[in-house]
Amino acid sequence: MIIKNPKFEISAVTPKQYPKNYLPEIVLAGKSNVGKSSFINTLINRKGLARTSSEPGKTRQINFYNMDNLFYFVDLPGYGYSKMSKEEQIKVGQFIEKYLSIRENIQLIVLILDIRHSPTEDDKLMYDYIRSTNIPFIIIANKADKIAITKVDDAVEVIKKELKILSGTVVEPFSSTRRIYTENVWEQITNAILK
């Protein structure tokens, strides 16, 4: 899909601040620094639309990016950022959970993991939570450029096993740095929007 005019629309913390138009929403979830914001930029080919940083904890609110009025990419703050105070982590967790539990136009949750590591306890909690919402989801094994291409399939299998994934669940490798596997991911997103 080619997005001609992607725009940042709003940062939200409370439901009152969510966009009023109910376009399909594609949500990026994952631990801090795993590459959620970069994922958006890579898919739409715009370097700086979603703010990224090598320092974890860059995204602190729910950011809505309007894709040609066809759908929103919704960039969530990352979890598991140890430098964030406990109170702030709880606050962020609560507004993420609120969003995921009440927003009816979420079409797909994209849970992003790091292909190099086994899923963390927080990843497992998030995965279980996502499953409990009954919202369709896919899993992205990001930073595939960090391992040898011959190891990618094995790494994806490890993630599937560790999360005890049900057969039929989509787990796709990805790399923002090398811009690989983007076609597969667009296909998943397009299918979700058209559903």
> What is the contact surface with Mg ion in residues (CB under 5 A)?
36-37, 58-59
* Closer residue to ligand GTP, CB minimum distance, 57 or 136: 57
Residue 77 found at the interface with ligand GTP (CB under 6 A): yes
Q: Does 78 bind ligand GTP (CB under 6 A)?
A: yes
By CB neighbour count within 10 A (0-12 exposed, 13-18 middle, 19+ buried), where does 113 fall?
Answer: buried
- Residue 175 CB neighbour total at 10 angstroms: 22
Taking the complex as a whole, the smallest distance from the CB of residue 20 to ligand GTP amounts, in Å, to: 25
**Residues from 154 through 183 that contact ligand GTP (CB under 6 A):** 175-177
The yes or no reply on residue 145 touching ligand GTP (CB under 6 A) is yes
Q: How far is the CB of 115 from ligand GTP (least distance, A)?
A: 9
Tokens describing residue 1: 């899909």
**Contacts for 169-174 with beta carbons within 8 Å, 24 or more apart?**
169/137, 169/138, 169/139, 170/138, 170/139, 171/138, 171/139, 171/140, 171/141, 172/138, 172/139, 172/140, 172/141, 173/115, 173/140, 173/141, 173/142, 173/144, 174/39, 174/112, 174/140, 174/141, 174/142, 174/144
Residue whose CB is less far from ligand GTP, 76 or 135:
76
Give whichever of 104 and 153 is closer to ligand GTP, judged by the CB atom. Answer: 153
Of residues 17-36, those binding ligand GTP (CB under 6 A): 30, 32-36
Which one-letter amino acid corresponds to residue 163? L
Under rule CB under 6 A, residue 122 binds ligand GTP: no
Which lies closer to ligand GTP via its Cβ, residue 112 or residue 167? 112
Q: Is 82 in the site for ligand GTP (CB under 6 A)?
A: no
Residue closer to Mg ion, measured from CB, 37 or 107: 37
Q: Which does 66 bind (CB under 5 to 8 A by kind): ligand GTP, Mg ion, none?
A: none
Rounded distance between C-alpha atoms, residue 50 and residue 42, angstroms? 10
Rounded Cα distance between 45 and 158, Å, is: 30
Give residues in contact with ligand GTP (CB under 6 A). 30, 32-38, 52-54, 56-59, 77-78, 142-143, 145-146, 175-177
